[in-house]
Amino acid sequence: MMTFEIKSRDAMGRIGILNINGKKIETPTIMPVVHPNPKKQVVDIDLINKLADVIITNSYIIYKTKHLREIAIDKGVHKLVGFDKVIVTDSGSFQLGVYGDVDVEPLEIVEFQEMIGVDVGTILDIPTPPDVDKEIAEKDLEETLRRAKLSIELKKDRGFKLLLNGTIQGSTYLDLRRKSAKEMAKLNFDIYPIGAVVPLMEEYRYRDVVEIIINSKMYLPTNKPVHLFGCGHPMFFALAVALGCDLFDSAAYAIYAKDDRYLTERGTLHLDEIKDLKSFPCSCPVCSSYTPKELASLNKKDREKLLAEHNLYVTFEEINRIKEAIREGSLWELVEERCRSHPKLLEAYRVLKNYIDYIEKFDPVTKKSAFFYSGVESMFRPEVLRHKKRLKRIKYEKVYITTISSSVEKPYHENLNVIETDIDILIKHPVFGFVPYYIDTMYPLSQNEIPELYEFEKEINKKFYDEFIVWLKRKIGEDNILDIMTYNYYTSYFQSTKKGFNSDNLRIRKMLQYQYGYDIIDDDLINKIKVVRSKNTGRLRQVLDENNNILFTVRSNDNLLIPSERGAKLLWEKILYPRYRVVVNKEAEEFIREGRNVFAKFVVNCDEELRPYEEVLVVNEDDELLGYGTTILNGIELKEFNYGLAVKVRGGIKKVLK
């Protein structure tokens, strides 16, 4: 039995709880490769036990080695290895890749893995190397798919307890990777490893790895963990997690140690290069007990063991750093730092631009931490793309296009001395394209840090400006657009078109348009609502109806509008089904009305365009409003997950007795 649920997220990365046969693993994580023969294991299993909740070992080696096989059959793989938590095994497909042949039948090894009590076994897939002839890759893939099907049938027929890894293959052919993912998805494996990337990693072909990951992820079920098989170098983890990889394994910690190589989150150092340093560039228990000179002078065996320990510490350290970044909403920032440690990593990161429409669907609409610009690459991040798209949600009638000095602090409207108007003012922005004056407090328009830009960087959005203006002209007519130079200078232009104009109310109206894509506060309501400002900051904090009931709270960190029950009802009236809705079945109805959270298994439909962390309405199949809350899952995941939290409910709505 396996369950998987998402606890926190950023980019396509997620902190998940993976429950395997009652044993919990927090993902993303790394499984150290442990040799099934304790005598051949370089790092003590005690340290592995301390650091890891899951390990991987090789069932084929156990199968082929008489004394290991006997112990494993007799006492189980956990006793053999000395590890009580989750044990994953490979199937011999690694040996198949290296030697071209293995001495076991595909179903036999699956059966063997079950027999020795493995938690997660692996089918005997064919690991096709990069750049082979396409026919070979296709033939291999057919065989892998055939074995996959047989293995799943075997497991079902015999009622196997073990979970199964269904590995994605297809060499460097992205269409084959997509096909592999699509077909394997149908077979309902428990975990999806992405296979045969080791040769690419070894040649620094990170760009190929990134394209393989994305093309696989796009067709894999979102509710299953993805394991980037054979990737054990911490420098690649942040990028892989940001693309939705949940699991890694590391033989690297031991293999590198054998060659006196010292892992860091930025790359690899050879002990020879650092042996003259006074101290190690690390504070792990190994590095704070030995000087490089001392370590280098130890005998081969001791040195290898200590280096492997260090390698393991920094490997887990990077996993922890990534988890922290996910919780803070700064995973892209971490990725953009890590990608500077090797130009091939930077090249791989730059490729994401081509897939950003897909990636954006998984990126939360709001984050705890600000958007940090780390270089021109940041221009193409999902937060920027989403804003540019959502700019079109605002209902424009008359627009001024303007620029302001880059020295004006955010939010702009608090630092510009202008006569306010009910005309939409679009302030040109070198990164975000345009910042509409009336939504300038909303994430990420105020929650960002951007350095002074180079001149050529300021030109990058020129095409976007032009295209947007063309769209706007078509929408509201050329006569309703005035392109003016700088804001302060032309204040005389800013005259309201309507009487009784209230800039606070207009601000709320525009913010809601931007957040939901609908005109929640229409021409009628705009004169009835009232705003409440914070006594401390003077900033907008609440929106009230004409009877002074709260409709929305303006959340201080991101200025999203958080509905009250009345606000939710208003949203429900104004937003057409199924937009901004999560639909649950009858069974859940009463729970939601009582204010309990929506779990994924109750979701029957939803707005497919929902992103994580959006404010949504929970309705039944008749579109009756049951509650309102915040999505944990996006529109794709809401349909695919059947376990774990889907919407964190803020409030339930009691049934009105007729």
Quick one: what does residue 277 bind among its own copies, Mg ion, Zn ion, none, with the CB cut-off 5 to 8 Å set by partner type?
its own copies
SS3 (DSSP) at 641: coil
Residue 56, Cα to own-chain centre: how many angstroms? 24
Residue written as token pair 């963990």? 225
Which pair of tokens denotes residue 161? 């307890």
Q: Is the dihedral of CA 17, 22, 25, 31 positive or negative?
A: negative
* Binding residue for Zn ion, selected from 282, 298, 408, 482, defined by CB under 5 A: 282
601 binds, among its own copies, Zn ion, Mg ion, none (CB under 5 to 8 A by kind): none
The answer to whether the annotation marks 196 as part of a ligand binding site is yes
Place of tokens 């937060």: 383
Interface region with Zn ion, contact rule CB under 5 A, candidates 246-254, 277-285, 339-347, 459-467? 277-285
- Residues with Cβ within 8 Å of residue 26, at least 6 apart in sequence: 7, 15, 16, 17, 18, 53, 323
| Beta bridge mates, 248 | 30, 228
Q: Which of 10, 90, 249, 260 is catalytic?
A: 90
Q: Using the minimum distance from each CB to Zn ion, give the nearer residue, 284 or 550.
A: 284
For residues 63 and 316, which CB has a smaller minimum distance to its own copies in the complex? Answer: 316
Q: Residue 44 burial by CB count (10 A; 0-12/13-18/19+): exposed, middle or buried? A: middle
- Per DSSP, the residues of 317-359 read HHHHHHHHHHHHT-HHHHHHHHTTS-HHHHHHHHHGGGGHHHH
Q: What residues numbered 345-404 form the site for Mg ion, per CB under 5 A?
A: 369, 372
Nearer Cβ to Zn ion (278/535):
278
Residues 5-34 that bind Mg ion (CB under 5 A): none
Residue number closest to Mg ion, CB atom:
369
User: DSSP string spanning 57-100?
Assistant: EEHHHHHHSHHHHHHHHHH-HHHHHT--SEEEEE-SHHHHHHHS
Q: Give the nearer residue to its own copies in terms of CB position, either 35 or 327.
A: 327
- Alpha-carbon distance 266 to 279, whole Å? 18
Please name the helix (run of DSSP H) or strand (run of DSSP E) that holds residue 456, with its range, or none: helix 455-458
Least Å from the CB of residue 613 to its own copies: 17
CB-nearer residue toward its own copies: 218 or 453: 453
Site residues (vs its own copies, CB under 8 A)? 26, 266, 269, 273-274, 276-285, 288, 313-314, 316-318, 320-321, 323-324, 327-328, 333, 336-337, 340-344, 346-347, 350, 372-377, 449-452, 454, 456-457, 459-460
Residue 517 Cβ vs its own copies, minimum distance, rounded to whole Å: 30
- Residue 345: CB minimum distance to its own copies, A: 8
**Dihedral angle sign, alpha carbons of residues 572, 578, 579, 583:** positive
Do the annotations mark residue 606 as ligand-binding?
Answer: no
Tell me how long the chain is. Answer: 658
Options 330, 447, 513, 559; binder of Mg ion; rule CB under 5 A: 330
Diameter of the chain measured on Cα atoms: 90
- Only one of the segments 18-26, 293-301, 310-318, 331-339 lies at the binding site for Mg ion (rule: CB under 5 A); that segment is 331-339
Nearer to Zn ion, 177 or 310 (CB): 310
Query: 245 among the known binding-site residues?
Result: no
Q: Among positive and negative, which fits the CA dihedral 246, 30, 266, 231?
A: negative
**282 belongs to an annotated ligand binding site:** yes
**Closest distance between Mg ion and the C-beta of residue 368, in Å?**
8
In terms of CB distance, is 93 or 330 closer to Mg ion? Answer: 330
Q: Residue 149: which of Zn ion, its own copies, Mg ion, none does it interact with, CB under 5 to 8 A by kind?
A: none
Q: Residue holding tokens 């993902």? A: 27
Pairwise CA distance, residues 337 & 346, whole Å: 9
Q: Out of Zn ion, its own copies, Mg ion, none, which partner does residue 374 contact, by CB within 5 to 8 A per kind?
A: its own copies
Scan for tokens 């090789």, then name that residue.
Answer: 58
Residue 120 and residue 190 in contact, taking contact as beta carbons nearer than 8 Å: yes
Of 402-461, which residues contact Zn ion (CB under 5 A)?
none
Q: Is 231 annotated as a binding residue?
A: no
90 is catalytic: yes
What value does the CA radius of gyration of the chain take, rounded to a whole number of Å? 28
Euclidean distance between CA atoms 161 and 87, whole angstroms: 13
255 binds, among its own copies, Zn ion, Mg ion, none (CB under 5 to 8 A by kind): none
- Please state the closest distance from residue 314 (CB atom) to Zn ion, in A: 6
Closest by alpha carbon to 648, among 125, 8, 1, 2? 8
Coil, strand or helix at 110: helix
- Which does residue 343 bind out of its own copies, Zn ion, Mg ion, none, counting CB within 5 to 8 angstroms by kind? its own copies
CA 25-31-35 angle, 5° bins: 135
Instruction: Say which DSSP state 602 is in.
Output: G
User: Minimum CB separation from Zn ion for residue 548, in Å?
Assistant: 52
Q: For residue 310, state whether it binds Zn ion (rule: CB under 5 A).
A: yes
Residue type, 498: K
Does 284 sit near Zn ion (CB under 5 A)?
Answer: yes
287 is an interface residue for Zn ion by CB under 5 A: yes
Part in contact with Zn ion (CB under 5 A); list of ranges 19-27, 279-287, 300-308, 512-520: 279-287
The residue (of 249 and 336) whose beta carbon lies closer to its own copies is: 336
**Which among Zn ion, Mg ion, its own copies, none contacts residue 331 (Cβ within 5 to 8 A by kind)?**
none
* Residues placed in the known binding site for substrate: 125, 196
Catalytic residues, by residue number, are 90
Q: Which residue ranges make up the site for Zn ion (CB under 5 A)?
A: 282, 284, 286-287, 310
* Residues placed in the known binding site for Zn(2+): 282, 284, 287
Q: Which residue ranges make up the site for Mg ion (CB under 5 A)?
A: 330, 333, 369, 372
